[in-house]
Amino acid sequence: MATEPIIAVEGLGKRYIINHDVRHDTLRDRLANGLSDFARRLTGPKGPDPKHEEFWALRDVNFEIKPGEVMGIIGRNGAGKSTLLKVLSRITEPTRGKITLNGRVASLLEVGTGFHPELTGRENIFLNGAILGMTRAEIVQKFDEIVAFAEVERFLDTPVKRYSSGMYVRLAFAVAAHLEPEILIVDEVLAVGDHEFQQKCLGRMGDISRSGRTVLFVSHNLEALRSICQTGLLLEAGRVTASGPAADVIAKYHRPQSELTATFPIKDKPCITSVSVDPERLAAGDLVVTLTYHSPFPLRPAIAGFIINGPDGRPLFGTNMRTHPPTKSAKEKSVGTCILEVPNFAFHSSSYSVTAWLGDKTDDYDSKPEAVSFQFVSHRHYSQRPPLHVIGPVDLPCQWSYGTD
């Protein structure tokens, strides 16, 4: 007999209305605006309302999760991951579709949600546990385990407003993880904790899964997802574009893509207008990235920066004109170009992206996360090399030798 899903989502959609209306400060403007709205209601709209824009954060999302599964939800920023978790946690109402949850849900979506800053850690354990649905007897029974897991014994009677962000997330996760829910929903809050605590949390989620309960886990840490998730869900622009075994979904997430040039509209402030990677230099083993900018006033001078991100989107190498000044000084210009050259690009063959930034000596003006992406083929040859997820994508020159005794 087939096991019934503990979570079933059918045709889920979430729509937001973005208001582009402007504020009218004068009585004449307010009256004119009111008459315009009245006339529109009488005659009926002849097209989309320019003051309001529909934005679908989720569209036609369908999936099922079996009891005891750990599902990883991945996607780029703005793909709809956090919105999906909020809808599943009943924080946000869906616009359409059906959600079936066959069990008690505990959610950890934001650090310290449900904590009162003036209350102590001890008091907040009881408060947060009650908010999550635990009885007082359950909290008392689990209290010592929660405190030990969170590692906040010394600060248990200190108001949590004095906690660091790491202490906050440790205590919040400890309470949620010891609720023993049938379904645990965790957003990318573990990034606040240190590496040791992250591993501890991953181990706890594995324990929860092995006990027959279900975990939904959103993270940009693909290695963490690969290590604990059986299944995966890939979201792009609010839609499910891949689902199935976690390893297959992760592979589709950073499938080979190259977008060597990106252009951006001019704004009324200093802005990046294009970012590009030179394909000929890349083929020769060198990385050359060019940024163009536009400003309503001369920059004194323009200062650009780039970050090279690895296959999982994490920064690998960064530089800017503040930390590595150009050999020649630049003139003040409203329109110009900044170029980065990295000869003998010492990275392994893989996919990469470039984040661009623009500023001047005192201010930061614009940034373009993952503006362009490229495939790099290393000129180095190996008789045998472990896969990238074992050794990492960076291939820095090095030399080994034996010491003399």
Q: Is the pLDDT of residue 20 over 60?
A: no
- For the cut 80, the answer to whether the pLDDT of residue 285 exceeds it is yes
Say what the pLDDT of residue 324 is. Answer: 86
> What strands, in cross-sheet order, belong to the sheet with 52-65?
52-65, 7-19, 96-101
* Identity at 129, one-letter amino acid code: G
Contacts of 390 (CB under 8 A, 6+ apart): none
Residue pLDDT, tens place only, 153-178: 889 999 988 887 678 878 888 887 78
pLDDT at 235 over 70: yes
Highest mean pLDDT, choosing among 256-260, 288-292, 323-327, 363-367:
288-292
Q: What is the pLDDT of residue 134?
A: 77
pLDDT at 228 over 70: yes
Higher pLDDT, 397 or 302: 302
- pTM confidence score: 0.58
pLDDT of residue 38: 57
What is the token pair recorded at 290? 């060019």
Q: Which amino acid is at 284?
A: A
| DSSP, residue by residue, 82-149 | HHHHHHHTTSS--SEEEEEE-S-EEEE-STTTT--TTSBHHHHHHHHHHHTT--HHHHHHHHHHHHHH
**pLDDT: is 51 or 108 the higher one?**
108
At residue 1 the predicted structure's pLDDT band, cuts being 50, 70 and 90, is: very low
Percent of the chain with pLDDT over 70: 79
What does the mean pLDDT of the chain come to? 81
pLDDT at 320 over 50: yes
Number of residues in the chain: 405
The pLDDT assigned to 2 comes to 58
Domain with CATH 3.40.50.300 in the chain: 56-253
User: Is residue 397 within 8 Å of 348, Cβ to Cβ?
Assistant: no
Rounded distance between C-alpha atoms, residue 336 and residue 393, angstroms: 33
Residue 363: pLDDT band with limits 50, 70, 90: confident
Tokens 């604990």 appear where? 228
pLDDT digits (tens, 9 = 90+) for 128-155: 888 777 788 988 998 998 998 888 888 9
Residue 380 has pLDDT above 70, yes or no: no
Q: Where in the chain is the domain with CATH 2.70.50.60?
A: 261-382
Record the tokens describing residue 183, joined without a space: 């379904």
Give the integer Cα–Cα distance in Å for 291 and 321. 12
CATH number of 261-382: 2.70.50.60
Quote the pLDDT of residue 370.
85
CATH code for residues 56-253: 3.40.50.300
pLDDT tens track for 166-224: 788 788 888 877 877 788 888 765 555 566 777 777 788 778 878 888 888 887 777 67
